[in-house]
Structure 1
Amino acid sequence: MNQTRKMWASAGVVGVIVVGGASVAAAASAGKLDAVARETRAVVEQAPPTGVQVPAPDNTDGIVVSKEVNPDPGAVVDYWTDKRMEEAEPMPMPEATGNFEVAE
């Protein structure tokens, strides 16, 4: 067998392995994400267009709902000029309150 055929055969085998590995990883990842979503009952919602009012849910029943904070990232870039960045103050660090037990 000449070198070119060996190279193409090796490339074909490597390609099959990479495609198979990627498909297995994608399937495992999708299954894991579904399992986590079932465990946490987390829901991700898209933010409505600006100016549309959405009523608050009556009963969340322990469900976590995440909403997109800024649907227009270009507006953020326009807002944060160099002057505003220099004058910006950091948000305060959150502080834990209450009694906590450390498991050993």
Structure 2
Amino acid sequence: MAELIGPRVYSCSNCRNHVCLHDDIISKAFQGRNGRAFLFSHAMNVVVGPKEDRQLMTGLHTVADIYCRDCREVLGWKYERAYEETQKYKEGKFIFEKPKIVKENW
């Protein structure tokens, strides 16, 4: 009998709420506040906080923190605007900090 395998997802490490899909990873080579972070094209079950300008390693960006919809843990941020032309590809994308998410269905 064949097993049904669902999508590989990442969940909030605090409450296990599904927040992003493995298939939506753009890059694993990002830096978060507390170590490695992944750039994703989409997110789910998150709340986007207020926008603010932040000086990041790659320049000035307008970002908004993202929170788990269930437990309100800060998971990373959403890039709202990049001021440098070479960083425009990040706009509308999501950073999830690696320590804040865990693998499910792997």
- Shared fold (TM-score, shorter chain, > 0.5): no
Higher RCO (CA < 8 A, seq sep 6+): 2
Greater C-alpha Rg: 1
Q: Which structure carries more helix by proportion?
A: 1
TM-score (structure 1 length as normaliser): 0.22
| TM-score normalized with structure 2 length | 0.21
